[in-house]
Amino acid sequence: MDYKQAGVDVEAGYEAVSLMREHIKTTYNDDVLGDVGSFGGFYSISRYMGMQEPVLVAGTDGVGTKLKIAFAMNKHDTVGIDCVAMCVNDVVCQGAQPLFFLDYMATGKLEPQKAATIVAGISDGCRQSGCALIGGETAEMPGFYTPGEYDMAGFAVGIVDKPKSINGKAIRSGDVLIGLQSSGVHSNGFSLIRRLMGDMPNELGVYMQELGKTIGEELLTPTRIYVRTVLDVMKQVDIHGIAHITGGGFIENIPRMIPQGLMAKIDLGSWPVAPIFDIMAQRGQMQQRSLYNTFNMGIGMVLAVDAAQADDTVKRCIMNGDNAYVIGQIVPGDEGVQLCSR
């Protein structure tokens, strides 16, 4: 018996890497040293040596059970964007420029073309965020995964000059909260979403007038990447804090950037909530606070800025292609997040 008879096809692995190469190379810049296939990825940080105190910022995440939707629809070109987005959006919350990304993908039986399609999505996400895909791992693990399924995760490393890093300590009462619009449900809450909307092909293929597309198409909309917008806004505005609205929604994530003794007052109705959230609220008969403790509710990232810079921040975000809204303010208190109806 050989390795292939045991379920691991090394030739398929070679083919997968060959197909991935063309996508990976599109993320390279002059700081990438070496080529695809090295044991470790090399990345030069010499251009950042002029910083007063350069600091690396790292983040890691996966796509979660959103992958079940991709399996059911046999559509694998966008989940790679989700994987990158979940990591780089976290890193930029500290004001860091993402430098490079590494991915991990595991499956029971490697299908080279499918793997290349997934990596094409990862490469797309890297280009959107201005970082290089300098390494990764594709593991074939027979008997470990359901046939046709896979799991994926990744991590990003960024850099920021410590005096310019963002950690929320500058947030003060009276600061305004700017919300950047999400592209949909992004990559969180799918264990509940799948219960509410279904995860079988016949369920996901249903066209809904409210959405203007099928349920599956809506759910597979890739996570918005905010890196370029945030880095550009930082050049003009003193951002006091940033929260990436992921698992736990508003209730869990916004308090992560707020100092003790302060809280966020959110003005509901100050931004458009996408129809998908209303549909899920109705199907699940969910209470308001539960919705805002589970989903992003149409806001993927929140910036805290001085009130005097709120208008400039909104304009700058819109100039970069991200719809932005004044959604609340920082006030004294210890409730974390207060949801206020207009």
Q: What is the pLDDT of residues 305-326, one digit of tens each?
A: 999 999 999 999 999 999 999 9
More confident residue, 92 or 11: 92
Mean of the pLDDT values across residues 1-16? 75
Q: What is the pLDDT of residues 272-314, one digit of tens each?
A: 999 999 999 999 999 999 999 999 999 999 999 999 999 999 9
| 53 and 157 together in one domain | yes
Quote the pLDDT of residue 26.
Answer: 95
| 208 and 160 together in one domain | no
Q: What is the pLDDT of residues 149-177, one digit of tens each?
A: 999 999 999 999 999 999 999 999 999 99
User: Domain boundary residue among 164, 187, 212?
Assistant: 164
Q: What is the pLDDT of residues 77-102, one digit of tens each?
A: 999 999 999 999 999 999 999 999 99
Residues pairing with 59 in the sheet: 156
- Chain-centroid distance of CA 111 in Å reads 26
| 123 and 260 together in one domain | no
The CB density around residue 165, as the number of other CB atoms within 10 Å, is 14
Report the alpha-carbon distance of residue 266 to residue 334 in Å, rounded.
Answer: 14
Quote the pLDDT of residue 328.
Answer: 98
| 224 and 280 together in one domain | yes
Residue 22 belongs to a domain: yes
Residue 171 belongs to a domain: no
Encode 28-39: b = buried (16+ Cβ within 10 Å), e = exposed.
beebbeeebeee
What are the residues whose beta carbons fall under 8 Å from the beta carbon of 31, sequence distance 6 or more?
A: 43, 44, 45, 46, 47, 99, 132
- What mean pLDDT, rounded, does the chain reach? 95
Residue 137 belongs to a domain: yes
228 close to 128: Cβ distance less than 8 angstroms: yes
C-alpha distance from residue 65 to each of 19, 28, 102, 150, 153 (Å): 26, 30, 20, 11, 12
Quote the pLDDT of residue 5.
Answer: 65
316 close to 254: Cβ distance less than 8 angstroms: no
Quote the pLDDT of residue 218.
Answer: 98
What type of residue sits at position 199? D
Task: Quote the pTM value.
Answer: 0.96
Domain count for the chain: 2
| 335 and 214 together in one domain | yes
Report the alpha-carbon distance of residue 183 to residue 254 in Å, rounded.
Answer: 19
Residue 133 domain boundaries:
10-164
pLDDT over 70 (residue 342): no
